[in-house]
C-alpha cells in the first residue's frame, strides 16, 4: 500500500542584504522543494544562483496572489512541497503572502514557518530603544495628510513605534515626524547588513538636516524607530486619582486592577498608582 505524501508550504525567510545570513535549514529546504513562489523571480533567481540551487519559480505578488491560491491548494493536495519567499527578509511582513497563507490554512493545508532575517527585528536589536513593547506600522501612507493623521493617532502611545520607509519618501516622513512629535528621539536604520549599513539617531528635525547635508544618507531602505511618548506625570496627592482608587478598593477591586484603571482614565505612571493603591489599601 503506497504512502501518501503530505503537501507543505514553507514560509522561508531570506537575507535582507548579506547573503551569508541564509540559514542552513532555509538553504536545504529551498533546494528540496518542488517549486518556490517568489515576489520577484529575477531577484530570487540571483539568491538561488549564489546558493547553487536550481528550482522552478512561480511569481507571487500583490496583483496575482488571489489567482494563485487554487493552484497552490491543488499542488499541496497532490503532495507537493512548496516554498514562499519575499524579495528580502521574512515573507508577509509588509510583503505579499497573507492572503495565500490564510486561504491555504483555512483549506486545511500545512503551512510551516522557517524563521530568519527580518529588518524590523534586526533594527530593534541595535536601536537602543525599549523593545518590551513596540508597534510595527509598516509603510505609512504616501500623502502627507494621511501620514500625519496616522502619526498623530499614536502620538501619545508610550511604546516604541516602528515604520518602514523608502529613500524617496524618507525626508517627507522626517518632516512630518518633526511636526507631530517635535524633539522626541528617532533612530534610522539604513541598508541593514549591507556594505553601507548606517544607524543615525536624534530628533526628526536633526536627522532631516543630516540627510539634507549628506544626500548619500538618504539612499537605501529604512527602518524608522520612534521613541514612545514620555510618561504623563501625576502628583502623589492628586485628589481625583485618590478618590477613584478609594472607590474601587471599596468595591473589592484588586490593587493591580485599580492601578490599571487609573492609568487608563487619568494617565500617569502605573507604578505611581499601584503604590498609592497599596498605601490606601493598607490604611483601610
CA distance 28 to 92: 21
Q: In this predicted structure, what is the pLDDT of residue 232?
A: 63
Which pLDDT tens digit goes with each residue over 170-193?
999 999 999 999 999 999 999 999
Question: 3-class DSSP state for residue 34?
Answer: coil
Give every CB contact of residue 189 below 8 A, 6+ residues apart in sequence: 119, 122, 123, 126, 127, 197, 198, 199, 222, 223, 224, 225
Q: Where are the chain's structural domains?
A: 8-117, 120-226, 239-283
Q: Of 41, 35, 149, give the one whose Cα is nearest residue 96.
A: 41
Per CATH, 8-117 and 120-226 having the same topology is answered no
Q: In this predicted structure, what is the pLDDT of residue 274?
A: 86
Q: In this predicted structure, what is the pLDDT of residue 5?
A: 76
Ranges in the chain, pLDDT < 70: 1-4, 232-237, 284
Beta strands in the chain (DSSP E): 8-12, 35-38, 57-59, 81-85, 110-114, 134-139, 160-165, 185-190, 198-203, 222-226
Is the domain spanning 120-226 CATH 1.25.40.10? The answer is no
Q: In this predicted structure, what is the pLDDT of residue 237?
A: 54
DSSP code at position 144:
H
Report the CATH number of the 8-117 domain.
3.40.1010.10
Beta bridge partners of 136: 162
Which pLDDT tens digit goes with each residue over 97-134?
999 999 999 999 999 999 999 999 999 999 999 999 99
Q: In this predicted structure, what is the pLDDT of residue 2?
A: 42
Q: In this predicted structure, what is the pLDDT of residue 1?
A: 39
pTM score, two decimals? 0.79
CA distance 216 to 50: 28
Amino acid at each position: 500500500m503506497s504512502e501518501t505524501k503530505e503537501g507543505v508550504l514553507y514560509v522561508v525567510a531570506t537575507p535582507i542584504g548579506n547573503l551569508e545570513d541564509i540559514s542552513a535549514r532555509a538553504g536545504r529546504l529551498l533546494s528540496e522543494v518542488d517549486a518556490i513562489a517568489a515576489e520577484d523571480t529575477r531577484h530570487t533567481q540571483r539568491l538561488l544562483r549564489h546558493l547553487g540551487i536550481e528550482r522552478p519559480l512561480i511569481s507571487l505578488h500583490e496583483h496575482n496572489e488571489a489567482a494563485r491560491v487554487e493552484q497552490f491548494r491543488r499542488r499541496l493536495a497532490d503532495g507537493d512541497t512548496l516554498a514562499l519567499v519575499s524579495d528580502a527578509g521574512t515573507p508577509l511582513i509588509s510583503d505579499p503572502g497573507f492572503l495565500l497563507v490564510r486561504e491555504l490554512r483555512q483549506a486545511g493545508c500545512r503551512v510551516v514557518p522557517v524563521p530568519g532575517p527580518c529588518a524590523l527585528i534586526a533594527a530593534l536589536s541595535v536601536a537602543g530603544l525599549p523593545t518590551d513593547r513596540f508597534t510595527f506600522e509598516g509603510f505609512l501612507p504616501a500623502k502627507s495628510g494621511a501620514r500625519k493623521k496616522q502619526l498623530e493617532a499614536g502620538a501619545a502611545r508610550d511604546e516604541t513605534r516602528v515604520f518602514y520607509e523608502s529613500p524617496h519618501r524618507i525626508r517627507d516622513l522626517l518632516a512630518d515626524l518633526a511636526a507631530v512629535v517635535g524633539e522626541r528621539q528617532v533612530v534610522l536604520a539604513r541598508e541593514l547588513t549591507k556594505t553601507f549599513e548606517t544607524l543615525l539617531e536624534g530628533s526628526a528635525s536633526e536627522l532631516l538636516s543630516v540627510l539634507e547635508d549628506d544626500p548619500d544618507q538618504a539612499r537605501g531602505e529604512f527602518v524608522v524607530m520612534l521613541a514612545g511618548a514620555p510618561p504623563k506625570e501625576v502628583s502623589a496627592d492628586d485628589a481625583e486619582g485618590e478618590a477613584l482608587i478609594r472607590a474601587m478598593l471599596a468595591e473589592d477591586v484588586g490593587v493591580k486592577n485599580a492601578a490599571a484603571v487609573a492609568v487608563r482614565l487619568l494617565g500617569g505612571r502605573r507604578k505611581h498608582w499601584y503604590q498609592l493603591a497599596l498605601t490606601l489599601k493598607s490604611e483601610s
